[in-house]
Every structure is written in C-alpha cells, then in structure tokens.
C-alpha cells in the first residue's frame, strides 16, 4: 500500500512540467564565479514573458523601489544578481506548480499564506541578524518554497492526506511525524524529489530537504536553514495560514542560541511581518478567493 502511494507521488512529480529553459539558464549563469549584469540581462531578455513578470514584481510594493523601473539591466544592478536569480526562480516555480485549489486534503490558500509568512519572517530574522543584503532574498525564497513537497502529496493522496492532518491534530503530533507513520513518505522527501527534477540546489534545496532535520544537517547553509525552521515554527503556532501543522516541533535550544533569536522576536516583528506579507502576495498572483487581509 505504502509502496503504491510512493509510486503515485513519483509519477506525479515526473509529470510536473519542467521549469522554463530561460529560468534554467539564469540559474546556470548565476552560479558562475564571475558574471556581470549584462550576461544576466541577455539571458532573461530572450524570454519576454519572464522579462514582464520580473519587471512586474520589481515594480510592486514588495520591493518598494520608489520609482518605476523599465530597464532590466538597471534593475539587476540595483537589486543585485542574487536577488534577481531568486526572484526568477520563485516566479518560475510558482507559475509551474499546479494550483490544486479545489483539492480537499490541504487547503492551498492557507498553505500559501503560511509559506509567505515563513518566507517573510525568515527574511526579517536575517535582517535582524545583519545578514548581507545581497543574501537576504535567499531567505525569503527558501521560506516560501520550504513546504513544496506537500503539493504532490496533497494532489495524489488528497483523502489520505486529510486523514493524516486530522490524525496529527488529534494526536498532537507534528504533521511531519504523522506523514512518516501514516503515509510512509514525508514532504521533505517529496520536496527533494521536486528540487532534483528541477535542478534546484544550494540553500533552497537544503532547506526543502532538512527543515525538519536540523540536528542532522552540518552543511554551510545552517543559518538559512535555522531561520526558516524558526520562522516555520512561529507561523504555525500563530496560525498564519495553515500548512496542516497545529503542533509543530519546537527547534532545540541550541538552534535558538546559534541563531541569536529568542521566542519574543516574532512579537517584536509582528507588524512588520504582516505588512510584508501583504506586499509579498504579488508573488502568488493572488486569485479572488485568496484572503486579502492577514492577521495574527
């Protein structure tokens, strides 16, 4: 039974459309040691749809540039190559992933609101830590995409996933633990499968795979991983959106200490986070039935 479920999820992931070629080229170029804005501008310019999407996002309230940007190369210089890379990746993934808003397993509006909250919170925590501004957007993107493994599970095993969410709730267990025991697969494994299929690596892939395995991770992306895990905990206990996890595992004391974050930080940043979530909804191309105002 469990083997059959895993096979269905694998097949579903195989059938998810590939990311646009232009997005792959952007990632390839950005991973090179020596690149300049004109190289990135050239690759993005080959895809008019991608150009329009990026300029639309850049001119949104989320980035708050204060003036309208019409030149892609200027935007790349202003925001930095890493920011444009993450913006491109986020836009491509959100466009490619099935919306599945009618599936009854896990409500997708609540799921994406939770994901936005985690991304925004991880970014605000990074700012509080004094993380280099060129890396800040990596925190948002990693938080936004950390739970993408729930999408194939929710799509393929909708009824079973609803039961799994209910069982976790009744047993006051984390959804991650209940997935393993009830389904034989968890969203970190499924998310890693998506990341592999789309050639996503680096911090984003590490966060997707390890945000419930902090003790077992010893790589170079610890701070992003820890921030996202803490942001995920905050978003879950404050029920901003709903990712199916009413009883999330609390990160160990070591994680809080190493991050320099305490449990009051979320309250201190709450108003800023709420404001940033509203601005960040542009990433989701919000449909009419999506909650238009967020509260904590």
Which two tokens mark 268? 């201190």
Alpha carbon of residue 109 to chain centroid: 14
Residues 6+ apart with CB under 8 A from 59: 65, 68, 69
Whole-structure pTM value:
0.91
- The domain segmentation of the chain, as residue ranges, is 1-16+101-296, 18-96
The residue assigned the tokens 């789309």 is 198
Instruction: State the average pLDDT over residues 54-83.
Output: 83
Percent of all residues in the chain with a pLDDT value above 90, rounded to a whole number = 52
Go through the chain and tell me how many residues it has: 296
For 94-105, give the secondary structure using H, E and C: HHHCCCCCCCCC
The residue assigned the tokens 């895990």 is 229
pLDDT digits (tens, 9 = 90+) for 218-258: 999 999 999 999 999 999 999 999 999 999 999 999 999 99
Pick the most confident of 27-36, 61-70, 225-234: 225-234
pLDDT of 56 above 80: yes
What local confidence, expressed as pLDDT, does residue 285 receive?
65
Q: In the CATH hierarchy, which fold is given to the domain comprising 1-16+101-296?
A: Hypothetical protein af1432 (1.10.3210)
CA of 46: how far to CAs of 32, 68, 119, 235, in Å?
A: 19, 22, 29, 38
Instruction: State the average pLDDT over residues 69-88.
Output: 84
Which of the four pLDDT bands, split at 50, 70 and 90, describes residue 59?
confident
The rounded mean pLDDT for the chain is 88
pLDDT of 291 above 60: no
Least confident of 7-16, 71-80, 118-127: 71-80
What local confidence, expressed as pLDDT, does residue 3 receive?
66
Percent of all residues in the chain with a pLDDT value above 70, rounded to a whole number = 93
Which of the four pLDDT bands, split at 50, 70 and 90, describes residue 101?
low
pLDDT of 117 above 80: yes
Residues 6+ apart with CB under 8 A from 104: 158, 159, 162
- Rounded Cα gap, residues 54 and 20, in angstroms: 14
Nearest one of 115, 151, 48 to 283, comparing CA atoms: 115
Instruction: State the average pLDDT over residues 254-273.
Output: 92
What local confidence, expressed as pLDDT, does residue 1 receive?
59
Question: DSSP string of 165-232?
Answer: HHHHHHTT--HHHHHHHHHS--HHHHHHHHHHHTT--HHHHHHHHHTT-STT--STTHHHHHHHHHHH
pLDDT of 295 above 70: no
- Rounded Cα gap, residues 176 and 193, in angstroms: 16
Q: Rounded to 5 degrees, what are φ and ψ at 24?
A: -60, -40
């Amino acid at each position: 039974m469990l083997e059959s479920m895993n096979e269905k999820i694998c097949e579903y992931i195989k059938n998810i459309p590939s990311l646009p070629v232009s997005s792959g080229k952007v990632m390839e170029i950005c991973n090179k040691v020596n690149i300049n804005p004109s190289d990135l501008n050239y690759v993005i310019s080959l895809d008019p749809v991608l150009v329009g999407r990026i300029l639309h996002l850049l001119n949104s309230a989320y980035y708050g540039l204060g003036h309208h940007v019409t030149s892609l190369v200027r935007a790349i210089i202003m925001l930095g190559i890493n920011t444009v890379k993450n913006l491109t990746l986020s836009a491509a993934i959100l466009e490619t992933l099935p919306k599945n808003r009618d599936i009854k397993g896990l409500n997708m509006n609540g799921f994406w609101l939770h994901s936005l909250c985690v991304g925004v919170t991880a970014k605000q925590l990074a700012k509080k830590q004094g993380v280099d501004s060129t890396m800040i957007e990596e925190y948002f993107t990693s938080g936004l995409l950390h739970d993408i493994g729930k999408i194939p599970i929710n799509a393929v095993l909708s009824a079973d996933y609803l039961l799994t969410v209910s069982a976790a709730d009744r047993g006051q267990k984390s959804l991650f633990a209940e997935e393993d025991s009830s389904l034989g697969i968890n969203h970190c494994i499924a998310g890693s499968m998506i990341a592999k299929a789309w050639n996503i690596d680096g911090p984003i892939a590490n966060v997707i795979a390890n945000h419930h395995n902090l003790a077992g991770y010893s790589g170079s992306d610890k701070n992003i991983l820890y921030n996202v895990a803490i942001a995920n905990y905050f978003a879950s206990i404050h029920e901003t959106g709903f990712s199916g996890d009413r009883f999330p595992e609390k990160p160990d004391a070591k994680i809080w200490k190493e991050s320099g974050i305490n449990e009051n930080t979320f309250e201190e940043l709450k108003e800023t986070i709420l404001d940033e979530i509203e601005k960040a909804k542009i990433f989701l191309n919000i449909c009419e039935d999506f909650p238009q105002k967020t509260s904590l």
